[in-house]
Amino acid sequence: MDQLIVGGVEFKSRLFIGTGKYPSKAVIEEVATASESEMITVALRRVDLGADEENILKYIPEHLTLLPNTSGARNAEEAIRIARLARASGCGDFIKIEVISDNKYLLPDNMETIKATEVLAKEGFIVMPYMSPDLMAAKALVKAGAAAIMPLGSPIGSNRGIRTEEITQIIINEINEVPIVIDAGIGRPSDAAKAMEMGADAVLVNTAIASSSHPRDMAEAFKYAVKAGRLAYLSKMGAVGVHASASSPLTGFLSEVK
Amino acid sequence: MSFSKIVERYTPEVIAEMSAQVTAEQVLEAIGKETLSEYDFLALLSPAAADYLEPMAERARKLTLQHFGRSVLLYTPMYIANHCANKCVYCSFNTANDIARMQLTMEEIEAEAKAIRAEGFKHILILTGEDRHKTPVSYIVDAVKVLKKYFECISVEIYPLLEEEYRQVIEAGVSGLTIYQETYDKERYLSLHPKGPKRNYENRLNTPEYGARAGMNFVSIGALLGLSEGVFDAFMTGLHGDYLQRHYPSVEYGLSLPRMRPHIGAFQDFTPIGDRFFVQILLAYKLFLPSMSINISTRELPSFREHLIPIGANNISAGVSTQVGGHTTTEASSDPQFEIADGRSLEEMKRVIKNLGYQPILKNWSGDF
């Protein structure tokens, strides 16, 4: 049975989705259903617990696990504060740490992320840190108590695909203690399929779905892509040949020797 | 190096000459680039780029979707005082203008806050004139403490403070700073600000940095378009934004495009910025600094504002009164700072934004963070 377990919770879908950039909050509900996703991230900075119509949480189907994120945090301290507020306002124990100290490229600050992860994991949070792919930082996050590692494929919102392939592949190969979720940059279903073929445990997709002309259909497309990529990975794809070759110019002589 | 040293490298004459020499090829090259140099940015502001607004708009639309998606943040300003020691020749609050002066008491601020909150706003921008005696930092701090009970995010558009003073207002609950240079042309600046503390050009220029250093989450800058030569002011605004982003990258920046509107007072010596050029500036900002928000005020007409949303405008005010206490007083008890062109309420703006296929956002931050 091909199971994905994060923080002790089992997920049937390996596609995680987001809630930002949508044309309306109602679309989020359609996307959640069409994607068959079971985990959805939401920026606490956007959560308006007060008003009914404006509260984004009302549009998220109940069977989805809420993954509040610390978008807007500039350092560990702010991320920790936002995480605690998320839990206090009933958003559960999952938390995606997002510490951005550079708003031009929106690249995560790994050092601050590690600090926040350590503190929050000790407080019982199920911590899923968003990171710039780096093997040593990934190991440090595991040691700090992360429940999953979320390296970026390319800058957030860029839809550029997995430009960090070499390094994320190394992280996938080397980090076996916790699931690896490719987050950010996945621009099209084929990118998601590729991430899964590489052996990622899951992907998180937001902009590519939210900013497409038909978010519901795009969500469905990603659902199939993630399934296809996972199935391909499990089926152990054949080795890629450099070129077809009948003769063995370098080792042919071996057939002549006894 | 401070930005005032960078400004010294350019003069309006040199920029005018450089922009006049830009070719169509250079414009097209700039539009096609991922990362624009300052010369590319100038090319987009040049007369040659005026023929390429559509391809610029296409690129701006893509960048806006990438960075902000289909969402528009709505906020409203709240004027708490209009006492002013400055003589900005273009402003109704000019100390020499015989207008009704007032400042709200804490009780009045609370009443105003309740009224604005009841309209549905979560983000508020508080404004004053520049009068350190009548409206000292302690007055601002007290006002913020009252407003914090009603709003998620409080920004200030007040007179320039020192870094330490910004720390005080942040401590009280402020997350955003709006401060406009008005014009980057120093000579023109000095002639437009003949008296008062605002006459200090360099201090005003360095003020956004003081706010960023003090820990503001959001900083908005801009030139009051029409006060001086448009290409120069827009170019310098972009360079200023780029400078701030490089030096204080953890801050989220906004670029505003206020445009001269009719106002009380004799000053009518401004260079009107037409709609086409206004849009060209907005597009050039978006292509040069795509991660920055773009703010369009109610100085602009309703339909014009709506057209700017898909191509970059993602911060929009609504339910606006530019009078002190304008949300609770029915009669004009003070004169407005400027005449607005879009008087639509929050509910109306929400409807309009939804009809465009965009999501109105009321909360994008919390002072509790």
Chain A residues inside the 8 Å CB shell of B368:
81, 85
Residue B53 lies in a domain: no
pLDDT digits 0-9 by tens, A185-194? 899 999 999 9
Domains in chain A with CATH codes: 4-239 (3.20.20.70)
Min Cα–Cα distance to chain B from A78, Å: 6
Residue B54 lies in a domain: no
Is A96 catalytic? The answer is yes
Cβ <8 Å between B250 and A101: yes
pLDDT digits 0-9 by tens, B301-310? 999 999 999 9
Structure tokens given for A239: 């080795």
For B54, the 3-state DSSP assignment is: helix
Chain B residues inside the 8 Å CB shell of A44:
366, 369
pLDDT digits 0-9 by tens, A39-95? 999 999 888 877 666 788 888 888 999 999 999 999 999 999 999 999 998 889 999
What is the pLDDT at residue B262?
62
Q: How many independent structural domains does chain B possess? A: 1
Q: Which residue has the higher pLDDT, B343 or A139?
A: A139
B-contacting residues of A 107-126, CB under 8 Å? none
Query: CA-CA distances (angstroms) from residue A141 to A138, A149, A191, B40?
Result: 5, 7, 25, 41
Least confident of A131-135, B89-93, B292-296: B89-93
Instruction: Give the list of residues 6+ apart from residue B257 with CB closer than 8 angstroms, or none.
Output: B222, B225, B278, B281, B282, B285, B294, B295, B296, B297
Residue B116 lies in a domain: yes
Residue B27 lies in a domain: no
Sequence-ordered alpha helix ranges (H) in chain B: 3-7, 12-20, 24-32, 38-45, 53-68, 106-119, 137-147, 163-172, 186-192, 201-214, 230-247, 275-288, 302-308, 346-355
pLDDT at position B332 over 60? no
Q: In which element (H, E) is residue B315 found?
A: strand B315-317
* DSSP category for residue B88: -
Structure tokens given for A207: 């902009």
Domain of residue B189, residue span:
62-361
What is the pLDDT at residue B127?
95
Within 10 Å of residue A43's Cβ, how many Cβ atoms? 21
What is the pLDDT at residue A242?
60
Structure tokens given for B203: 């201090």
Q: What is the mean pLDDT of chain B?
A: 92
Distance CA A224, CA A189 (A): 8
**Chain B interface, mutation test: which of A17, A19, A30, A45, most B Cβ atoms within 10 Å?**
A45
Residue in chain B lying closest to A78 (CA): B369
Question: Is the distance from CB of A127 to CB of A146 less than 8 angstroms?
Answer: yes
pLDDT digits 0-9 by tens, B214-271? 999 999 999 999 999 999 999 999 999 999 999 999 999 999 999 987 666 666 778 8
pLDDT digits 0-9 by tens, B15-47? 999 999 999 999 999 999 999 999 999 999 999
Residue B30 lies in a domain: no
Write the ipTM: 0.81
One-letter identity of residue B304: F
pLDDT digits 0-9 by tens, B96-144? 888 888 899 999 999 999 999 999 999 999 999 999 999 999 999 999 9
Q: pLDDT > 90: what percent of chain B?
A: 78
Residue B11 lies in a domain: no
What is the pLDDT at residue A257?
63
Residue B47 lies in a domain: no
What is the pLDDT at residue A258?
58
| Nearest CA among A162, A128, A161 for reference residue A144 | A128
What is the pLDDT at residue B292?
97
* DSSP category for residue B8: T
Cβ <8 Å between B368 and A85: yes
What is the pLDDT at residue B85?
87
Residue B199 lies in a domain: yes
Could you say which of A25, A96, A115, A143 is catalytic? Answer: A96
Model pTM score: 0.89
CATH code: domain of residue B201: 3.20.20.70
Count contacts between A and B (CB, < 8 Å): 83
Cβ <8 Å between B358 and A72: no
Is some CB atom of chain B closer than 8 A to the CB atom of A81? Answer: yes
Distance CA A228, CA A47 (A): 34
Cβ <8 Å between A103 and B359: no
pLDDT at position B331 over 80? no
| Nearest CA among B252, B238, B236 for reference residue B292 | B252
Residues of chain A with pLDDT under 70: 1, 51-53, 238-246, 256-258
Q: Under an 8 Å CB criterion, which residues of B touch A?
A: 65-71, 120, 122, 152, 217, 245-246, 249-253, 291, 354, 357-359, 361-366, 368-369
* DSSP category for residue B90: T
